[in-house]
């Protein structure tokens, strides 16, 4: 790790200001950034911790009935505090990494990083969440733009994520044996106006919606409806842990299981 300056602002405004400096980098829970810095693969001049901004921490429900999670809220807090309003989201948060990761890692950090194997992108895209930043609201459908790519501008901070609560939802994660990130993770959410299916881990373009499954499930929300589909095409990741064909197969299996588990 190289030396760096450290700032811990207590308000969003201060954080935005601090991030305006050259080579400043926002720090969420540090579960990706700090190991990267230790390996000397990243060398920000200043780390701006977002963990001291109380208005960015916590879980609440807004007037529209959306579950609103502050951008600096750790996974463990979401697992605990979203359980009553959005159990599928809480369950997802409760299976990210291990207890240490869940105590430090934050939803904003995960979404800003947009690791192609992370869990939260599936929940956000699958729920049709709104990513609220210090400057604007971004629909999840517009936010995820490829592996480690998002709609965020330089210095833009995720202050809150708003999740519409579906009638039914479930997340199924099939873990990569070594990292235990999602080899394939599928988030299925059934809303009054249709079903959303978001897939993480599988595609080299990052999280994506499986349109065929959404159509089939919107017509018939059953495991059987998925079984008739062919596995999704597209740019599947092929690596040490599984071929593209295997991942595509798992997408179908996990989607079916998510539907069955959603009830």
Partner 1 sequence: MPTDHGIGASSKRREDLRFLTGRGRYTDDINLQGQAFVHFLRSDVAHGRINGIDTSEAEKMPGVIRIFTGADFEGVGGIPCGWQVTDREGNPMREPPHPVLAQGKVRHVGDPIVGVVAETAAQARSAAEAVVLDIEELPAVVDMRKALADGSAKVHDELDGNLCYDWVFGSDDAAIDEAFSKAAHVTTLELTNNRLSPNAMEPRVAVGDYSWASDESTLYTTSQNPHVIRLLMGAFVLGIPEHKLRVIAPDVGGGFGSKIYHYAEEAFCTFAAKQLRRPVKWTSTRSEAFISDAHGRDHITTIQLAMDAENNFLGVRTDTLANMGAYLSTFAPSIPTYLHGTLMAGNYKTPAVQVNVKAVFTNTVPVDAYRGAGRPEATYQLERLIDKAAREVGADPVALRRQNFITQFPYATPVAVEYDTGDYNATMDKLLEMIDRDGFEARAEASRKAGKLRGLGINCYIEACGIAPSALVGQLGARAGLYESATVRVNATGGLVVMTGSHSHGQGHETSFAQVVADMIGIPENMVEIVHGDTANTPMGMGTYGSRSLAVGGSAMVRATEKIIAKAKKIAAHLMEASEGDIELKDGQFSVAGTDKSVAWGDVTLAAYVPHNYPLDEIEPGLEETAFYDPNNFTYPSGAYACEVEVDPETGKVQVMGFAAADDFGNIVNPMIVSGQVHGGLAQGIGQALLENVAYDENGQLLSASYMDYAMPRADDLPFYKVDHSSVTPCTHNPLGVKGCGEAGAIGSPPAVVNAVVDALQRGGYAHVTHIDMPLTPARVWSAMNG
Binding to partner 1 by residue 222, rule CB under 8 A? no
CB of residue 25 vs partner 1: minimum separation in angstroms?
Answer: 20
Q: Considering only 47-55, 64-72, 199-207, 245-253, which stretch makes contact with partner 1 by CB under 8 A?
A: 245-253
Of 11, 62, 222, 243, the one binding partner 1 by CB under 8 A: 243
Of 242, 248, 255, 259, the one binding partner 1 by CB under 8 A: 242
> Cα separation of 186 and 133, whole Å?
26
Binding to partner 1 by residue 241, rule CB under 8 A? yes
Residue 15-54 contact track with partner 1, rule CB under 8 A, x = bound: ------------------------xx--------------
Q: Rg (Cα) of the chain, in Å, rounded?
A: 18
Binding to partner 1 by residue 135, rule CB under 8 A? no
Strand, coil or helix: 208: strand
Q: How far is CA 112 from CA 62, 141, 146, 154, in A?
A: 23, 14, 12, 11
Token pair recorded at residue 250: 């798992």
Whichever of 54 and 179 has its CB closer to partner 1, that residue is: 179
Whichever of 162 and 173 has its CB closer to partner 1, that residue is: 173
Q: Considering only 16-24, 26-34, 125-133, 175-183, which stretch makes contact with partner 1 by CB under 8 A?
A: 175-183
How crowded is residue 118: how many other Cβ atoms within 10 Å of its Cβ? 24
CB of residue 172 vs partner 1: minimum separation in angstroms?
Answer: 11
CB 195 within 8 A of CB 212: no
Q: Considering only 13-21, 48-56, 81-89, 249-257, which stretch makes contact with partner 1 by CB under 8 A?
A: 249-257
Whichever of 77 and 172 has its CB closer to partner 1, that residue is: 172
> Cα separation of 149 and 128, whole Å?
18
Q: Considering only 74-82, 129-137, 158-166, 178-186, which stretch makes contact with partner 1 by CB under 8 A?
A: 178-186
Report strand pairing: 24-27 vs 67-70: unpaired
Binding to partner 1 by residue 177, rule CB under 8 A? yes
Binding to partner 1 by residue 250, rule CB under 8 A? yes
How crowded is residue 2: how many other Cβ atoms within 10 Å of its Cβ? 10
CB of residue 178 vs partner 1: minimum separation in angstroms?
Answer: 4
Question: What is the side-by-side order of every strand in the sheet holding 130-133?
Answer: 59-61, 67-70, 158-163, 130-133, 137-139
> Cα separation of 8 and 191, whole Å?
39
84 CB-near residues (< 8 Å, 6+ apart): none
Residues in contact with partner 1 by CB under 8 A are 1, 39-40, 174, 177-179, 181, 183, 239-243, 246, 249-250, 253
């Amino acid at each position: 790790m190289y030396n760096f300056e450290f700032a811990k602002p207590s308000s969003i405004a201060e954080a935005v200001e601090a991030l305006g400096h050259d080579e400043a980098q926002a720090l969420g829970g540090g579960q990706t950034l700090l190991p990267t810095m230790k390996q000397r693969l990243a060398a920000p001049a200043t780390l701006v911790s977002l963990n001291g901004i109380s208005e960015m921490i916590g879980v609440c429900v807004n007037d529209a009935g959306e579950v609103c999670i502050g951008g600096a809220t750790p996974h463990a807090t979401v697992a605990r505090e979203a359980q009553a309003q959005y159990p599928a989201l809480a369950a997802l948060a409760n299976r990210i990494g291990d207890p240490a990761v869940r105590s430090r890692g934050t939803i904003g950090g995960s979404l800003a990083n947009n690791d192609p194997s992370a869990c939260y992108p599936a929940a956000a895209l699958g729920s049709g969440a709104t990513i609220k930043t210090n400057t604007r609201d971004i629909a999840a459908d517009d936010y995820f733009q490829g592996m480690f790519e998002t709609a965020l501008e330089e210095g833009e901070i995720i202050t809150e994520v708003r999740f519409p609560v579906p009638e039914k939802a479930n997340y199924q994660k099939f873990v990569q044996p070594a990292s235990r990130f999602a080899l394939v993770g599928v988030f299925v959410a059934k809303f009054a106006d249709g079903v959303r299916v978001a897939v993480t881990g599988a595609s080299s373009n990052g999280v994506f919606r499986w349109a065929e499954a959404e159509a089939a499930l919107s017509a018939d929300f059953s495991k059987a409806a998925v079984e008739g589909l062919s596995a999704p095409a597209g740019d599947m990741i092929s690596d040490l842990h599984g071929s593209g064909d295997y991942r595509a197969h798992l997408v179908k299996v996990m989607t079916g299981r998510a539907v069955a588990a959603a009830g």
